[in-house]
Amino acid sequence: MPHRGNLNRPKLFPTFNTSVTQCLCYFLALLVAVLLIVNGSHAKEKKPELESWQLKGIVAALDDTDPLVWAEALNKLSRYELEQLKPPFEIPKDRIDQIADLLAYKHESDETENERKSVQSKVHASAAEALGEIGPAAYKYTRQIAELLTDEDSDVHDSAAYALGQMGADASEYIPEIAKLLIDSDGNVSRSAAKALGQMGVAKDYAPQIAKRLTHSDLDVRYSAAYALGQMGAAASKYAPQIISLLTDSDNYYPNRAASALGEMGAAASEYVPQIISLLTDSDSDVRYSAASALGEMGAAASEYVPQIISLLTDSDSDVRYSAVRALGEMGAAASKYAPQIVERLTDSNIRLRASAARALGQMGAAAYKYAPQIAKLLTDEDSNVRSRAARALGQMGAAAYKYAPQITKLLSHSNIRLRANAALALAEMGAAPSEIAPQILELLTDSDWNVRYNAAKALGEMGAAPSQYTPQIAKLLTYSDWNVRYSAAAALEKMAPLQVKHILSVLNQVYWYQREAPSLRFLAYFLSGGDKNSLLLIHWLGSPEQYPHEIRVINHQEGLDVLKLFAQIWEDTQSLSKLRKDLERQIAIVVDKVKWEQTDMKLLKQHYKNLKSIDSQLAAAVNAQIIALEGKHWFLIAFKIWLIHVSCWCFLIIIYPRSAQVQGLIWDWKFRTIVGLGYISIALTWIPWLRYRLLAPFREVLVADASLDSFDPQAYFPNSYVKIRRATHTQPIQTAIAQLQSPIVLEGESGLGKSMFLRNLVKTSGRLSVYLPASQCAGGVVEGIQAKLPIAAHDPLFLQSLINYNTLDICIDGLNEVSPDTRATINTFVDHHVQGHIILTTQPLEWTPPATAKTYVLQPLKRQQIAEFLTSRQGILPEDVPVSGVEYEQACDDYLASQLHQNQSKQELTAVRRFLSNPMDLTLVAQLLAQGKDPDLLNLQQQQYEIMAEDYQQIHLYPFPLAEFAETVYQMRLHDQITIPENDCLDELQCMERYKMVLTRQQKDGFGRTYREWYFRHDKIQEYFIVQTFLKTENRERQHEHLSDPRFRGVYLLLATLLEVNQALVLREVLIQSAAETKDHAVSDQFIQRFNSRQELTQTTNNHGELALSQKHNQNLIEIIKLVASRPITVENKAMSESTSDYHHSNYHSKYDQRQSQHRFNNFVDATQSEFNQEIDSQTQNNYAPEKNQTLSEAAAEIQQLLKQLEQSNPNATDLEKTAFVNIAIPASTKQRLLSALESGGKEALRELLDNPYVNVGMAIVEGWQNPS
């Protein structure tokens, strides 16, 4: 408390000599307080209006990650007038909802329980108070606010009560809950509750229970009750006497509490004013002093009593004069007409009085300007305090007193720090240019006296936004220990707001120095930013936020770009802000690391690298690493774009490739593809399946030209054939076993079983690129055979090889049996090198070793049911004008099969019939004959087909079909490996054969685009039928021996088994056997024997007697030969031999046919006389060929020579080979062995001398054959 003895302070409660006077002065002081409340405090202090930038800054703070920043923002929001806000300047609805959500906020952190509760309470309290100030827009949240009335924290339910009071009648349902707070031990709570009830209009109902607390023993309780009643206003006026009694309370150290309570009651306390006026004339100077001071505290409200105060200016007591002047000053402009009397005091000898007079005139403002000259004189007063008051008074007069600025400016260099501070403040209030006074003011900001710093900050604040460049210096005061200084600094900054980004940095920098005040400082930064986008971005990333943005979400490129641009902008401005600069370095590195940068950002990144490098920051390396990576990416992208252009060009070439021969030539050119394709194009063309397909797709038709797909009739294909893996017993449908080519396959089957038809169907239906190669085209190699179909591949055969290696093509090679062993070996090598190749080979049974990597399937002959299905299915491909069709045709098929396959047949006969009928090719001929109304002859099906065709030919052309000439042409085709039939000179024949489906035609184009036809045999069997005609002619008999080892004529020899006369067929059989023994290839000989046996079975069954006579007639010569053999003294060994003749691996070829010597020698030709003839041979051999070990060479020579002579008599034209075969048949094996024993002792030269000259060569050849059977 100031006292009279202290001359430097005002005397509100001076010391007194008597207790009466002391009590009176206390009473006056209390009464002053009451009247102050009545006339001043009773009028609710008007809150400032909210400006747009302020609202934006406050709202922006609600998006911070620190809940305490939210609390600061809401507290600030509550200090403004919010109910009068109108669109568009209003608090957004979503923000109101956001504030309401904070009423139930739960704080989660690693802090202690008390710390978490403290944060929650602050958020709840600030949110409730803010909603109360917002007005009607927040009334819908009364229930959530009311729930806080029971919160354990007194600040929370205090704010809740206050908010509900602000809502008035809208929150009336919560009055009982608010009333419970009236007796709260916290005076603020009870006061807020009382005020809330007063605002709701129900205070009078609860005033009695508060009044009871006015007599409480606790002084704080009594004053809290007084405040609470005061908040109820006139409704509690009847309790004023009780409150007045507190003014004289012995413990009333702060009587203004009771006075404030009375002031809230309004006019009810006005009756005490006259008592103060009467004291102005009291004889006691202290009483007069206190009375004047009391009226001064009333301000303008006591202006009507100025005359009474003026009278004190001449009081004998200087303290009373001081109190009067001070009181007049407090009244401001209301007392300006009495300024002359105050001016007189400017020259008073009392220093305090001169200073007080100057201050009073200053408080009157511009109204006292005309007295400025007199005040200005005090600027040179000897007392620094007087000069300070004078300067301050001139400053309060504003711009009107600016002409005295030069004089005041001189004071800025005075040694008295307070004088300099007041001078600076005065100049600022006058509107002096900041450039003139700011430097001096800045010096004051670092003074040790808090009052000086306070005035200096206030001075800068008075200048408004102009001196915002001095924000860093003012910001330093934000962390000062004295609250007044901090408040002054913040107020000064607010007057400069909104601040630029660079000025916000100074505020944020203080956070690092004073972490305890981080929430308030960060909010201040938000508030001063005015919601500026860049400033907000800066606040989010700097100033020690609770959570950095990169810790909350993924930073996208645009945000990262904005942040780095902002960081680059503020880099120089942070040079003096050491702690913020360190954080800035870290955030630059983090942003650089977290964002995926583009080439256009390179300049910005390099700028940051340069900045960091210039201060030797360790984080520069991290930024540089990103720059290096981005540069690498840049060059990669350039290369990638070039590559894209390159690939696009090649894609264009690939697109037009099928339609442009020039492009095809370029792509197949090795140099072009390597140089222009940069090497990788060739790899892509071979590695990518679609491209491989694209390269060969234009040549699809050429690759399968030999398959004649244009003439392929799907109805002609029979899909129900079965296959089995070699040496396996289980069979399966061919469509299942070979549904798609995945690895090398060998398909083996007899001629006519449908191997080629299967390949053609596979090629047509697979949907993949295929190449169809006759095996004869692979003599030089499979790749070479394919290349021959693709002349364009000659530019780069290795490229074609690569495409083949990657299984671009399904490779179908047909007719492996028709080529030489060398060709088969070449094909085998190719298959072995393509273990996963999509390859299929077809062949008839032959002696060879299939590729080790290939799976061999054996095509099975048709079964009984399949035979019937096949015959029926042929109806779809028969000509429409055939005599027999439809139901009649089906019946003819059933009748024919019934006649050929019945239960009365022998096993041998049934086997022979099935051997023919199980062959689809032969069945097709049967179907054609049945449709023509003919009776098929299984031994002469092709002959029958030819006769029908020849008959039609003769009817059309009136001359016979030129069989001999045409057959010779066909023979020459096979001999020279020609596939196409020459059209010249045989067009009529081909056209006739085409009608009977013996040949087919295909349209082709030559190099000039002209169309021409090519003719082909529909099947090799048809071609072989014509070839065999040349073998049957007498003048061409040597052809039967010329082509024994030629696989191209294999089918011809099989036809000879049924077309030759029996004796000639027998001789040919032995020739084939001997040839097989020499070549180790038994395929032809074994097949020949099987077909010959089938022929004999069928011949015997068809006409047992007539056929016997016919056979005897055709084979009389051979029978005579055999009789001659029987009459000779040779020994016949009757050994039981194996019936099978198709064992490829039997080693004893002579014993294999010994049974034929004793049985088939007559069964095949003279079955009717078999028994009698055998008996004749047996009887003779028993009588003449007793075993004699001493048989001489002369007897052997005579035996051989006699047999040769007999053969000459019956067949003068017999060849040497036939002679050798005849002798081998006639002489048993045991006899041969004895002759060989004799030769060992006598020698071959001795035998040569015993033979006549015509038989020497043949005889010696026969004996040498016995000695060397291999």
Do the domain assignments include residue 667?
no
pLDDT value for 387: 82
User: Do 622 and 515 fall into the same domain?
Assistant: no
User: Do 535 and 622 fall into the same domain?
Assistant: no
**Average pLDDT value for residue range 276-286:** 70
* 773 three-class SS: strand
Range of the domain at 554: 549-639
**Which residues are CB-contacts of 158 (< 8 A; sequence separation ≥ 6)?**
125, 181, 186, 188, 189, 192
Q: At what angle do helices 154-167 and 187-199 cross, to 10 degrees?
A: 10
Residue 38 DSSP one-character state: I
Lowest mean pLDDT among 98-102, 116-120, 415-419: 415-419
Lowest mean pLDDT among 36-40, 137-141, 921-925, 1056-1060: 36-40
And the tokens for 69?
């920043």
The domain that holds 84 is classified in CATH as 1.25.10.10
* 1086 three-class SS: helix
CA dihedral 445, 446, 449, 453 (to 10 degrees): 10
**Are the C-beta atoms of residues 393 and 371 closer than 8 Å to each other?**
no
**Which residues are CB-contacts of 597 (< 8 A; sequence separation ≥ 6)?**
557, 560, 605, 626, 630
**Tokens 């088969």 sit on residue:** 824
**Average pLDDT value for residue range 957-970:** 92
pLDDT value for 766: 86
Name the average pLDDT for the chain. Answer: 77
The strand ranges marked E within 939-1037 are 999-1005, 1011-1017
And the tokens for 324?
């009067």
Distances (CA, A) of 951 to 9, 466, 767, 993, 1005: 154, 125, 43, 11, 34
Q: CA–CA separation, 145 vs 177, rounded Å? A: 12
**Whose CA is closest to 816, among 844, 835, 839?**
844
The domain that holds 855 is classified in CATH as 3.40.50.300
Q: CA–CA separation, 152 vs 149, rounded Å? A: 9
User: Do 469 and 558 fall into the same domain?
Assistant: no
Please report which confidence band the pLDDT of residue 548 belongs to, taking 50, 70 and 90 as the band edges: very high
User: Do 560 and 435 fall into the same domain?
Assistant: no
Domain end marker among 639, 665, 684: 639
pLDDT value for 533: 92
**Are the C-beta atoms of residues 1076 and 1149 closer than 8 Å to each other?**
yes
Q: CA–CA separation, 929 vs 884, rounded Å? A: 10
User: Do 157 and 67 fall into the same domain?
Assistant: yes
Please report which confidence band the pLDDT of residue 642 belongs to, taking 50, 70 and 90 as the band edges: very high
Helix extents (H) in 135-239: 142-146, 154-167, 175-179, 187-199, 203-211, 219-231
Q: At what angle do helices 602-614 and 620-656 cross, to 10 degrees?
A: 160
User: Do 598 and 714 fall into the same domain?
Assistant: no
* 266 phi-psi bin (left φ>0, alpha ψ -120 to 50, beta other): left
pLDDT value for 1188: 42
User: Do 464 and 512 fall into the same domain?
Assistant: yes
Q: CA–CA separation, 190 vs 183, rounded Å? A: 6
User: Do 478 and 616 fall into the same domain?
Assistant: no
**Average pLDDT value for residue range 641-669:** 91
| 770 phi, psi to nearest 5 deg | -135, 155
Position 682, amino acid: S
pLDDT value for 648: 94
Give the count of domains, the chain. 5
User: Do 352 and 217 fall into the same domain?
Assistant: no
CA dihedral 678, 684, 686, 688 (to 10 degrees): -170
pLDDT value for 1150: 34
Lowest mean pLDDT among 34-48, 189-203, 768-782, 847-861: 34-48
**Average pLDDT value for residue range 1109-1123:** 47
And the tokens for 1024?
């072989």
Query: Could you tell me the sign of the dihedral formed by the alpha carbons of 697, 699, 704, 709, in that order?
Result: positive
Distances (CA, A) of 545 to 197, 471, 539: 41, 21, 8
pLDDT value for 857: 94
Exposure on the CB side of residue 904, measured as CA atoms within 13 A: 4
Strands 770-774 and 810-814 turn out to be: parallel
pLDDT value for 858: 94
| 620 phi, psi to nearest 5 deg | -65, -35
Do the domain assignments include residue 406?
yes
And the tokens for 389?
């008051």
Do the domain assignments include residue 659?
no
Do the domain assignments include residue 279?
no
Which is higher by pLDDT, 611 or 343?
611
Lowest mean pLDDT among 209-213, 320-324, 738-742: 209-213
User: Do 1200 and 1217 fall into the same domain?
Assistant: yes
pLDDT value for 1156: 36
Position 786, amino acid: I
Do the domain assignments include residue 732?
yes
CA dihedral 1242, 1248, 1251, 1254 (to 10 degrees): 170
**Average pLDDT value for residue range 278-304:** 68
1241 has pLDDT over 90: no
Triad 393, 396, 398: Cα angle to 5°? 125
**Whose CA is closest to 1083, among 1093, 1070, 1092, 1073?**
1073
**Are the C-beta atoms of residues 834 and 805 closer than 8 Å to each other?**
yes
Domain end marker among 521, 541, 561: 541
Position 946, amino acid: Y
| Cis amide linkage into residue 879, ω under 30° from 0 | no
**Are the C-beta atoms of residues 706 and 772 closer than 8 Å to each other?**
yes
Write the pLDDT tens digit of every residue in 1213-1236: 777 777 787 777 777 776 777 777
- Share of residues in the chain with pLDDT > 70 (%): 76
**Average pLDDT value for residue range 374-391:** 81
**Which of the listed ranges 18-27, 32-41, 567-576 does the model predict with the highest average pLDDT?**
567-576
Which is higher by pLDDT, 1212 or 19?
1212
Position 1202, amino acid: Q
Helix extents (H) in 718-796: 734-737, 755-765, 782-789
Do the domain assignments include residue 150?
yes
**Are the C-beta atoms of residues 920 and 870 closer than 8 Å to each other?**
yes
**Average pLDDT value for residue range 395-404:** 77
Position 1093, amino acid: N
Domain end marker among 492, 517, 541: 541
Number of Cβ within a 10 Å radius of residue 15: 12
Residue 89 DSSP one-character state: B
pLDDT value for 300: 62
pLDDT value for 1102: 58
Distances (CA, A) of 737 to 428, 615, 725: 105, 79, 9
**Tokens 């939210």 sit on residue:** 70
Position 246, amino acid: L
Do the domain assignments include residue 524?
yes
Do the domain assignments include residue 232?
yes
Q: Name beta bridge partners: 1003.
A: 1013
Distances (CA, A) of 1038 to 528, 1041, 1151, 1214, 1218: 121, 6, 28, 11, 12
| 857 phi, psi to nearest 5 deg | -110, 135
Q: CA–CA separation, 23 vs 16, rounded Å? A: 10
And the tokens for 330?
């407090």
- Cβ burial of 481 (10 Å; 0-12, 13-18, 19+) is exposed
User: Do 565 and 709 fall into the same domain?
Assistant: no
Write the pLDDT tens digit of every residue in 668-727: 988 898 899 988 898 898 899 889 899 999 998 889 988 888 878 888 889 999 999 988
User: Do 246 and 106 fall into the same domain?
Assistant: yes
Number of Cβ within a 10 Å radius of residue 797: 15
* 573 three-class SS: helix
**Whose CA is closest to 550, among 542, 562, 541, 558?**
541
Which is higher by pLDDT, 162 or 420?
162
